[in-house]
């Protein structure tokens, strides 16, 4: 069973994930060159936008619009760099889910896995559609800028350029933005998928443990505790290890994407403050803000994806103890009850994904970010 195929396909299209099954040296070399070109293009646009802010911008409107794209591109550079440099770690995460004890072992567990895979795919497609609408709006705005003799996005270059170079730069910016959007969508949906896979593993764990307890209860009823204990001596301890393995998987996901979460959240707060401020200052100029409005909505959705998926993991991991309590455990032996208590005690500390140990991925954090953005907006108005 393959996992997150749509997300890896997005990574492959935007040049930051060479398919593992490729064996041809020539194909690998060409794709590596493609990766270098894409990543350097992202960094080139980010650096030239920063230089424009540093050397050219001299009013609040230009600062607001330039800062939006600069922080967005900086986040894209971070995501692309993390995926390229931590390719092996990301691959190992997927392999972990495809091996025992995480791999589904019967048709019921396969059904659970398929249910979550379909849910992740649906969320990924929905988010991709939203991002496509945002990019379409930005592309229309870019074409309008080109027709007026301006580059789609302001940058600073240490030389004057001809009309031919102008069109080359304009085409480069639009293509770079398209790849940046794909990297953004691929990373957001990848993180969403890895988070939700934690929920899938917890549901498989509960189903597996429920069936084990039913079997043990039946054996105890007909053969006595001693026979059951000798026959299944290590089974519940195996489930303890499986439960701890799920926590270890979640911790590894957090470590791999820690910098991405950090840049995304702190960059998004600044972008949201700036964009809301700019929109409020030009609320009557509908034609000037419609594209930025679409971008701002997409940015709110971007943060929501992280917080909502993280919140689902918190709720699911915290509810595992309650799910165990509802099982038919009273007929188990004292030793087996103690082993179940060890699992329930672990669920008192739910799985939490954090941004550099500062922000927890939850709906409460999302609400706090909105409040912080609004407070900063009020400060900017003064």
Q: Which two tokens stand for residue 257?
A: 């994407």
Tokens encoding 242: 């499986």
Q: How far apart are CA 248 and CA 176, in angstroms?
A: 36
Give the mean pLDDT of 214-236.
62
Coarse DSSP helix, strand, coil percentages of the chain, rounded to the nearest 5 percent: 80, 0, 20
* Cα→Cα distances 44→15, 62, 230, 346, Å: 16, 20, 66, 47
- H-helix segments, 86-106: 87-97
pLDDT greater than 70 at residue 223 = no
Helix (H) or strand (E) holding 108: helix 107-147
Lowest-pLDDT choice from 92-101, 140-149, 236-245, 287-296: 287-296
The confidence band for 178, taking pLDDT boundaries of 50, 70 and 90, is very high
Average pLDDT over residues 70-82: 92
DSSP 158: S
Is the pLDDT reported for residue 228 higher than 60? no
Residue holding tokens 């920063």? 50
Query: Within 10 Å of residue 328's Cβ, how many Cβ atoms?
Result: 12
pLDDT tens-digit readout, 356-371: 767 889 999 888 877 7
Q: How confident is the model at residue 299 (pLDDT cuts 50, 70, 90)?
A: confident
Whether 305 and 112 have beta carbons less than 8 Å apart is answered as no
pLDDT band for position 144 (cuts 50, 70, 90):
confident
Region for residue 185 given its phi and psi (left: phi exceeds 0; alpha: psi -120 to 50; beta: otherwise): alpha
What is the predicted pLDDT for the residue at 232?
47
Mean pLDDT across 147-171: 90
Average pLDDT over residues 40-63: 89
pTM passes above 0.85: yes
Cα–Cα distances in angstroms (integers) from residue 289 to residues 86, 275, 281, in the given order: 38, 10, 10
Angle at the Cα of 189 (from 368 to 203), degrees rounded to 5? 85
Looking at residue 234, its pLDDT comes to: 46
Angle between helices 163-223 and 258-281 (to 10 degrees): 130
What is the reported pLDDT for 220?
64
């Amino acid at each position: 069973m393959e996992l997150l195929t749509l997300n890896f396909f997005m990574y492959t299209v935007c040049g930051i994930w060479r398919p593992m099954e490729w064996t041809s040296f020539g194909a690998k070399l060409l794709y590596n060159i493609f990766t270098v070109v894409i990543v350097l293009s992202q960094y080139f646009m980010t650096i030239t936008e920063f230089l424009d802010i540093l050397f050219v911008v001299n009013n609040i409107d230009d600062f607001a619009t330039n800062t939006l794209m600069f922080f967005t591109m900086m986040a894209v550079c971070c995501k692309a760099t993390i995926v390229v440099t931590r390719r092996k770690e990301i691959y190992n995460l997927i392999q972990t889910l495809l091996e025992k004890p995480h791999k589904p072992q019967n048709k019921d567990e396969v059904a659970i896995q398929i249910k979550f895979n379909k849910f992740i795919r649906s969320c990924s497609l929905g988010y991709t559609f939203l991002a496509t609408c945002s990019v379409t709006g930005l592309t229309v705005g870019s074409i309008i800028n080109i027709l007026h003799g301006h580059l789609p996005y302001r940058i600073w270059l240490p030389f004057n350029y001809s009309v031919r170079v102008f069109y080359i730069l304009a085409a480069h910016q639009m293509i770079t933005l398209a790849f940046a959007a794909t990297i953004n969508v691929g990373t957001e949906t990848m993180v969403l998928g890895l988070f939700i896979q934690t929920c899938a593993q917890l549901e498989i764990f509960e189903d597996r443990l429920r069936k084990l307890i039913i079997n043990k209860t039946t054996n105890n009823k007909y053969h006595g505790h001693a026979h059951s204990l000798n026959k299944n001596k290590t089974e519940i301890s195996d489930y303890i290890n499986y439960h701890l393995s799920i926590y270890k998987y979640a911790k590894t996901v957090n470590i791999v994407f820690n910098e991405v979460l950090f840049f995304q959240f702190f960059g998004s707060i600044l972008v949201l403050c700036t964009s809301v401020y700019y929109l409020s200052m030009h609320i009557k100029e509908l034609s000037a803000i419609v594209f930025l409005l679409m971008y701002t909505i997409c940015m709110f959705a971007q943060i929501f994806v992280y917080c909502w998926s993280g919140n689902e993991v918190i709720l699911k991991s915290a509810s595992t103890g309650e799910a165990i309590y509802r099982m038919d455990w009273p007929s188990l032996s004292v030793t087996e009850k103690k082993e179940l208590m060890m699992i329930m005690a672990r669920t008192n500390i739910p799985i939490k994904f954090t941004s550099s140990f500062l922000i927890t991925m939850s709906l409460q954090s999302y609400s706090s970010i909105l409040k912080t953005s609004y407070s900063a907006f009020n400060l900017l108005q003064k």
